Amino acid sequence: MNDLKQIKSALISVFDKGNLQPIIEKLNKLGVQIYSTGGTKQFIEKLGVDVIAVEDITDYPSILGGRVKTLHPKVFGGILARRNNDSDKQELEEYQIPEIDLVIVDLYPFEDTVASGAGEQDIIEKIDIGGISLIRAAAKNFKDTVIVPSKSQYQDLIDLLEEKNGETAMEDRKRFALEAFNVSSHYDTAIFNYFNTEFQKPAFKQSSISGNELRYGENPHQNGTFFGDLTEVFDQLHGKQISYNNLLDIEAAVQLIAEFDETTFAILKHNNACGTASREKLVDAWNDALAGDPVSAFGGILITNEEVDMATAIEIDKIFFEVIIAPSYANDALEVLKKKKNRIILIQKMFDFPKSQYRSMLHGALVQDRDLKMETEVDLKTSTKKEPTKEEIEDLLFANKLVKHSKSNTIVLAKNKQLCASGVGQTSRIDALKQAITKASSFKFDLNGAVMASDAFFPFADSVQIANEAGIKSVIQPGGSVRDQESIDFCNANDMAMVFTGTRHFKH
C-alpha cells in the first residue's frame, strides 16, 4: 500500500522564529499553501512569501489579547479530518474547511519563564493553549498530517523536505507524532510541577525531553541513559565521555564537598569517601586525603572546593584517577592534568540542586526530601560527664559530615580533620567499626586521640567499648536507643566524651 502523501498546505504558528526561514523558503518553493497568524504571519510576509491569515479561514479575529487565535473548528477540522473517510470529506466541503497537511508549532517558553524568576502573571501567560492543542490534534491524525512540535525538529523537517521533495511516508509522520507527544507531555508536566510547588499534591511527575545515551549502564551488559543537562552543573574541560558509574560517584562527591567551608579535598570510590582532609593549603589537603587510603584512591573520583594550583596538580598527577572536579584550575595546573587524554576534568558551577530525590522501586518510585540537615556545634548535646575538647569538637563535626555521606551501616574514624578510615555498607555497626579500625591500622594511623562518628545510634555498649580499646576518646552519634545509658555509663567509666546530635543519617 502506498502511504506517501504530498504536503500541499501548512499551518505555522511559532514563538521562536529562529531557523524558520529555510523552512518557509522550501515550502514556498514546493508550492505549499501557508496559513499563519500574528507575529509568525508577519515574519513570513517579510520574507516575501504569500501567506493566508487564519482569520481569513475562520472569519473570526484573534481575541482576548491573543489568547484565542487558532482555536476554531475550521482550523482543527482541517487538521483532524481523515482523508479516507467520506463523511469527513463531505463535511470539509460543506463547511468550506481547507485540509491542513503540515502543522509547525513552537510553544510559549513556559519553563524558561519560570526559571527567569518572573512573576506569576507572566508565567501564566506563557502557558500555551492554542499551540499545545494544535500539536495534539495533528499528532493524533498522523496518518494524514505531519506535526513539527518544536524548533528542535526544524532541521528534521528540512531534511525530510529535501530528501522527499515534500512527500512524507507513514513512518515519517508517526515519528514526528512521537516527538509531538514527547513535547506536549513534558510541557504539561512542567506546568503541573510549577503549580504543585504550592500545593504539594502527592503525585510523581518527572520529565526530560531528551536523554544522553551512555557507553553502558552499571555493567557493560546493561544499557544506560542520563536524562538531564549536565552543562548546567559542570563544564567538561577534558577527557572521555562520563559513564554511568562516574555519574553516581560525581553525585556523591558533589553532595559531600558541599558540606565543607574550609579548604578540603575528598577522594571517592563507589559513592563513599576513601580519603578526605581539610587543610590551609590545598596540596596538604590532597596529600592527607590520599594518605587515608592510597589503595582505594586508584581509579577514584577527586573533588575539591578550591582552585587547583600547580603544586597540587603535580602531586595529583602521580596517581591514576577517573574524574577531578573543582571550581577552577590554574592554567599551568590544567596543562599537567591534561597529560592523560581520558582524564575527565570538570569545573563545578554554582547550581541549586532539587530538594527532593527519587529512585525506581518495585513497580513504582520512592520520593523523599534530600537529607539537607548538617549539625553544627550548637546541635551537639554532651551526654557524658566529660566534655569534648575544642579540637575534638572540630574533628567530631568533620567526621559527622563524612558519616552522613557514607553508605549505612557506617562508622567514620577521624583525627586532625583527616579521614583515618571508615567502615561502610555493613550489615552491623560492629562490623563497620571493626572494618574501620583494621583499615586504619593497615595504613599506620595512630587512633589514640581520634574520634568516632556513627550514622545511627548504638544499640549496645559494645561499639564504644571496642572504640575505647583502639584509643578513641570522643564519639558523635544520633542517640535515641532505649539502651543509650549503657553506652553513656561505659564512656563515663573510661574517661570518654560522647555527644548526641538527635539526627540519624542513614544512606542506602
- Among residues 143, 270, 386, 434, the one annotated as catalytic is 270
As a whole number of angstroms, the distance between CA 258 and CA 64 comes to 49
As a whole number of angstroms, the distance between CA 444 and CA 191 comes to 57
Residue with cell 591514576: 320
- If DSSP codes are grouped into helix, strand and coil, which group holds residue 465? helix
For residues 241 and 262, the answer to whether their CB atoms sit within 8 Å is: no
As a whole number of angstroms, the distance between CA 264 and CA 41 comes to 58
Interaxial angle between packed helices 73-80 and 130-140, expressed in degrees from 0 to 180 and rounded to the nearest 10? 30
As a whole number of angstroms, the distance between CA 289 and CA 279 comes to 10
- Among residues 8, 17, 140, 434, the one annotated as catalytic is 140
What amino acid occupies position 57?
Answer: I
- If DSSP codes are grouped into helix, strand and coil, which group holds residue 309? coil
Strands laid side by side in the 9-14 sheet: 52-53, 33-36, 9-14, 102-106, 146-148
CB atoms under 10 Å from CB of 459, counted, come to 16
Q: Where are the alpha helices (DSSP H) in 206-328?
A: 244-257, 282-291, 310-316
Q: Computed over its alpha carbons, how large is the radius of gyration of the chain? A: 31
Q: How far apart are the first and last CA of the chain?
A: 56
Q: Clarify whether 270 is annotated catalytic.
A: yes
Cβ-in-10-Å burial (0-12, 13-18, 19+) of 309 comes to middle
Q: Rounded to 10 degrees, what is the CA torsion of 353, 354, 360, 363?
A: -170
Beta strand pairing call for 411-414 and 381-382? unpaired
> Before 409, cis peptide (omega within 30)?
yes
As a whole number of angstroms, the distance between CA 158 and CA 164 comes to 10
* Active site (catalytic) residues: 140, 270
